[in-house]
């Protein structure tokens, strides 16, 4: 076998390993995402926010807080540009996002597996019609999350676009900054959807309340960090967007035509 043939075969195998790694990471993400719906909603999956491991209240609080902090630290630290610049010295650029998705999903699965039950009831909506409304809001939250990922670029967000381009031996190109549909109403509709889904429950237990408070607090902190990065990268384009569109709570106002035209 000639050196050129060996090199070509090696590159061919490398490209298939990259796309296989990306596909595997995405599948784990799908499992973690779908499990999250059952975990928060208390249905289908074996362990949920209200059906976890039995423990004393002290152990439950301690373990659950550690699990939530572990996810928050991993999710935020690995998303920072400085970490990415360091991380990609060891991890190939095409699989950087897939690795982030893989580790985020793994930490979530660990949280589901080790979550401790805190069964005390904080509120319970007893009226059937009212419970139905709450469940409708719950599903609306998840629908917002899912739909919003496609309003930017779902496949870039989860790393599939990066590994596909590597498989095709094409250079990665940024998807750019866009403000489509829900992104004209709030700057972070994905996170708005999560907050809605986490709080919309007809029966709120102490464990669910801890989960909702911690994740909402994390979201608010993480968004500040993300917006600082976006402002540093996009400059006035993002500053104008921040002035025109609220972060999470919609208001009856649209982006000025001039701002839209610039995007």
Rounded to whole angstroms, how far apart are CA atoms 236 and 239? 5
Residue ranges covered by each domain of the chain: 3-244
According to DSSP H, which parts of the chain are helical? 3-41, 57-77, 81-87, 96-114, 128-151, 154-157, 160-167, 189-199, 206-234, 236-244, 257-262
Report pTM.
0.88
Rounded to whole angstroms, how far apart are CA atoms 133 and 128? 9
Least confident of 28-32, 94-98, 136-140: 94-98
Question: What is the model's pLDDT at position 72?
Answer: 94
| Cα separation values, 76 from 23, 72, 229, Å | 23, 6, 12
Name the CA radius of gyration of the chain, rounded. Answer: 21
Residue 168 tokens read as: 């095709």
Question: What is the model's pLDDT at position 129?
Answer: 96
Question: What is the model's pLDDT at position 262?
Answer: 40
Query: How wide is the angle at C-alpha 223 spanned by C-alphas 221 and 228, nearest 5°?
Result: 105
Question: What is the model's pLDDT at position 170?
Answer: 86
Confidence of residue 15 (pLDDT cuts 50, 70, 90): confident
Mean predicted lDDT score pLDDT of the chain? 89
Q: CB neighbours (10 Å) of residue 5?
A: 9
Is residue 262 within 8 Å of 253, Cβ to Cβ?
no
| Per-residue model confidence as pLDDT tens digits over 120-168 | 999 999 999 999 999 999 999 999 999 999 998 898 889 989 998 888 8
pLDDT at 9 over 60: no
Can you tell me which residue has the tokens 């993002």? 238
Q: CB neighbours (10 Å) of residue 136?
A: 11
Question: What is the model's pLDDT at position 82?
Answer: 87
Confidence of residue 16 (pLDDT cuts 50, 70, 90): confident
> 82 or 109: whose pLDDT is higher?
109
pLDDT at 258 over 80: no
pLDDT at 228 over 70: yes
């Amino acid at each position: 076998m000639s050196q050129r043939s060996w090199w070509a075969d090696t590159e061919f195998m490398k490209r298939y390993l990259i796309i296989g790694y990306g596909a595997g990471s995405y599948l784990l993400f799908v499992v973690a995402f779908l499990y999250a719906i059952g975990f928060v909603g208390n249905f289908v999956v074996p362990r949920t926010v209200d059906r976890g491991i039995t423990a004393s209240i002290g152990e439950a609080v301690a373990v659950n807080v550690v699990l939530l902090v572990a996810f928050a630290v991993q999710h935020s630290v690995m998303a920072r540009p400085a970490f990415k610049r360091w991380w990609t010295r060891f991890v190939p650029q095409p699989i950087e996002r897939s690795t982030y998705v893989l580790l985020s999903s793994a930490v979530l699965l660990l949280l589901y597996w080790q979550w401790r039950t805190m069964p005390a009831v904080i509120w319970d909506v007893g009226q059937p019609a009212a419970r139905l409304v709450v469940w409708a809001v719950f599903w609306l939250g998840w629908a917002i999350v899912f739909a919003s990922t496609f309003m930017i670029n779902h496949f870039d967000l989860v790393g599939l676009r990066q590994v596909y381009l590597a498989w095709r031996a094409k250079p990665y190109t940024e998807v750019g900054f866009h403000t489509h549909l829900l992104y004209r109403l709030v700057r972070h509709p994905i996170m708005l959807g999560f907050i809605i889904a986490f709080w919309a429950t007809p029966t709120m237990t102490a464990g669910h309340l801890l989960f909702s408070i911690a994740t909402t607090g994390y979201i608010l902190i993480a968004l500040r960090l993300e917006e600082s990065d976006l402002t540093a990268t996009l400059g006035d384009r993002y500053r104008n967007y921040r002035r025109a569109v609220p972060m999470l709570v919609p208001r009856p106002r649209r982006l000025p035509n001039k701002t839209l035209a610039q995007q």
